[in-house]
A and B are shown apart, each in its own frame.
Chain A
Amino acid sequence: MRRLMNVTPNRGGRWLLALLPFALIAMLYAMASAQRLAVNAEDKVLPSLSSMVQTLHRTALEEDRRTGERIFWADTKVSLKRLGQGLAISIAIALVLGLAIGLLPMMSATFSPLMAVISMVPPMAILPILFIAFGLDELSKVMLIIIGVAPCLIRDLALKVSQLPKEQLVKAQTLGASTWQVMLRVALPQAMPRLIESTRLMLGPAFLFLISAEAISADAGLGYRIFLVRRYLSMDLILPYVAWITLLAYVADTLLVQCSRRLFPWAHEVRA
């Protein structure tokens, strides 16, 4: 008998083990839901699977009587646009500032302390300021994501760049590189996999900020919808929405991993 720490599942076993907890949760839910509905057929807290499918069908495939839109897809589109804009701008800022702070001692001396302070500001606490400054529409929501995400990305990227071996930087200079060229050909490519990695980690917070902002002030969006129907205890809509948001985040995460493996093979176990 081998030690437990040396026992590894094979390919099929891995799948099975991964699915097991999910199946268990689904089963527990179905049981609890059936029990509650048996006691009270009008119960809304744990809706049955069929009622959730029904609601999802209604919101995703039928046009809303008032707006003429399929609200599920309209919400998704609006939310993803906000999220995409917020993340894209954060990444752009992080690339410029992170590389500069990591590579240039003058920039680091100027901005490192500022970044350390800014990344400690709780973004939710300044949400009212954002609403006042940027109005109640799109801009303030995108700003919240940027303020919540960009400082962490900047700090992480700057750290990574400043950890490049000194030898590499000297070496590049002996090949005739200027500061700009070192940034472009040495620091940037080696920072990219790390940037993707930290973007993955920031996906969760980004969704958090998005949904918070939508909950407080919006007229569409996944977060808006969840908080709107909360008044009617519409768990049959809330639960599918939560599952959908989770799936979106999971897919985004997987895409980022694949992207990194494709574009930067040297950063992923190239050892032959």
Chain B
Amino acid sequence: MSAISVRNVWVEYGEQIVLEQIRLDIESGAFVSIVGPSGCGKTTFLKLLLGQERPTRGELLLDGAPLPDEPGADRGVVFQRYSVFPHLTVLGNVLLGPELQASPLLARLFGAKRRAQREAATQLLDAVGLGESLHKYPAQLSGGMQQRLALAQALITRPKVLLLDEPFGALDPGIRAEIHEVLKKLWKETGITIVMVTHDLREAFTLGTRVVVFDRDARRKRDAERLRYGAVITQNIEVHKRRDKNAVLSSAGRDDPTPPQAPRQDDLAPVLS
């Protein structure tokens, strides 16, 4: 339920420019997929949205106000790894968010309040297919189960924005399709804004309402120049409107705010190989 606006953002690490001239408007309730070659700054971009890193130039707005410069409860996240807490059971992991928010001092709930939250957590865990594993520790779960747990954990506090960094990278296609269904359903029910980084183009297009491609300018790919130019948004494709499930790729490139030097092509293959 939140719009994000990225205004001419640059990120530099010392000499190296990682991102430059990033301009992007994400409407409330959108599902944005971010794709691009390895090392082009996708994770860095997510860290900006998370408040974990700050842009060296430009600004980010969340619902019109400057984005807070530290992580907060309005932006949930699922990392590729280390997203769940190894010392808590499945149920404990999902209960943690509500406990943190309801009990500032002890960060624990007791009695009726705990039962109510437990109820909600169990329901959500059922929804992601973990209803049978409530009392297992993450180390006892498979990779796919851990990612589903991470999803439930992030969603139970109802963040405005959900950030996903290659959340399903390590999963086999079967489980992946399963989680896609879960994610789609939860997204539609809650109406949150999702930004997902992925290497899987199919995933990007089947889930996203918008696909954004990050890449360095193809003409500057020689090694010596690499460091002095950051990645830009080379494609910004509206896949379909949020409620309009059957729209096709025909709208590709229509509202493309790409900087002029970027190659204007609809063929993604060379960029992403």
Partner of A171, one of B72, B79, B87, B107: B79
Contact: B139 with A173, CB < 8 Å? no
> Are the CB atoms of B157 and A175 closer together than 8 Å?
yes
Residue of B nearest to A178 (CB): B104
Q: Which of A126-183 contact B (CB under 8 A)?
A: 165, 167-168, 170-178, 180-181
User: How many angstroms between the C-alpha atoms of A171 and B106 in the bound complex?
Assistant: 19
Q: Which residues of B contact A168 (CB under 8 A)?
A: 82, 85
- Nearest residue, chain A, Cβ from B159: A174
Total interface residues in chain B, CB < 8 Å: 34
- State which of B79, B87, B107, B137 has its C-beta within 8 Å of the C-beta of A184: B107
What separation, in Å, do the CA atoms of A142 and B53 have in the docked complex? 47
| Chain A residue with Cβ nearest B163 | A174
Q: Please report which residues of chain A, range 2-39, place their CB below 8 angstroms from some CB of chain B when the two chains form the complex.
A: none
B86's contact among A172, A184, A190, A272, by CB below 8 Å, is which?
A: A190
B104–A266 contact, CB under 8 A? no
- Write out the residue numbers on chain A whose beta carbons fall within 8 Å of the beta carbon of B76: 174-175
Contact present for B100 and A177 (CB under 8 Å): yes
Q: Which residues of B have CB within 8 Å of A190? A: 85-87
Within 8 A of B (CB), among A220-272: 264-267, 270-272
Cα–Cα distance between A175 and B155 once the two chains are bound (Å):
9
Which of A170, A181, A270 meets B100, CB within 8 Å?
A181
Chain A nearest CB from B166 CB (Å) reads 13
**A175 surroundings in chain B (CB, below 8 A):** 73, 76, 96-97, 100-101, 153-154, 157
Please give me the residue from chain B that is nearest to A267 by CB atom.
B87
Of all chain A residues, the one with the shortest Cβ separation from B138 is A266
**Contact across chains for B97 and A189 when beta carbons are under 8 A apart:** no
Q: Within 8 Å CB of B101, what residues of A?
A: 175-176
Q: A177-B100, A181-B104 are in contact. Are A170 and B50 (CB under 8 A)?
A: yes
Whole-angstrom distance between the Cβ of B184 and the nearest chain A Cβ: 22
Contact in complex: A174, B154 (CB < 8 Å)? yes
Nearest A residue (CB) for B154: A174
Chain B residues numbered 58-86 whose CB sits less than 8 Å from any CB in chain A: 70-73, 75-77, 79, 81-83, 85-86
Does A115 reach chain B (CB closer than 8 Å)?
no
Contacts of B73 in A (CB 8 A): 174-176
Q: Inside 8 A of A171's CB, which chain B residues have their CB? A: 77, 79, 82-83, 85
Contact of A57 with B by CB under 8 A: no
Q: In the complex the two chains form, is A266's CB within 8 Å of B137's CB?
A: yes
CB-based contact A174/B71 at 8 Å: yes
Enumerate chain A residues within 8 angstroms of B100, measured Cβ to Cβ. 172, 175-178, 181, 185
A side interface size, CB within 8 A: 26
Query: Are the C-beta atoms of A170 and B86 separated by less than 8 Å?
Result: no
Kindly provide the distance from the CB of A195 to the nearest chain B CB, expressed in whole angstroms: 13
Q: Within 8 Å CB of A189, what residues of B?
A: 87
Q: How far is the CA of A270 from the CA of B89 in the complex (A)?
A: 11
Contact of B139 among A165, A184, A186, A270 (CB under 8 A): A270
> Residues of A contacting B99 with CB < 8 Å?
185
Interface residue? B52 (CB, 8 A) = yes
A175→B79 CA distance, assembly (Å): 14
Contact for B140 among A167, A176, A270, CB less than 8 A: A270
- Asked if A266 contacts B71 (CB within 8 A), the reply is no
Contact between chains at A174 and B75 (CB < 8 Å): yes
* Chain B residues, CB < 8 A from A265: 137
* C-alpha gap A272/B133 in the complex (Å): 12
Return the CB mask of B198-213 against A: 1 if under 8 Å, else 0.
0000000000000000
CA A248 – CA B208 in complex, angstroms? Answer: 64
Residues of B within 8 A of A176 (CB): 72-73, 97, 100-101, 157
The residues of B that contact A177 with a CB separation of less than 8 Å are 100, 107
Taking the closest CB of chain B, its distance from the CB of A123, in whole angstroms, is 33
Given contact pairs A176-B157, A185-B107, a sample of 12 additional A-B residue pairs in the complex whose CB atoms are under 8 Å apart? A170-B77, A171-B77, A174-B71, A174-B75, A175-B96, A175-B101, A175-B153, A176-B72, A177-B100, A177-B107, A181-B104, A271-B139
3 closest Cβ pairs, A-B complex: A176-B73, A173-B71, A167-B82
What are 30 A-B pairs with beta-carbon distances under 8 A?
Answer: A167-B81, A167-B82, A170-B52, A170-B71, A170-B77, A171-B79, A173-B71, A174-B71, A174-B73, A174-B75, A174-B76, A175-B76, A175-B96, A175-B100, A176-B72, A176-B157, A177-B107, A178-B100, A181-B100, A181-B104, A181-B107, A184-B106, A184-B107, A185-B100, A189-B87, A190-B86, A265-B137, A266-B88, A266-B137, A266-B139
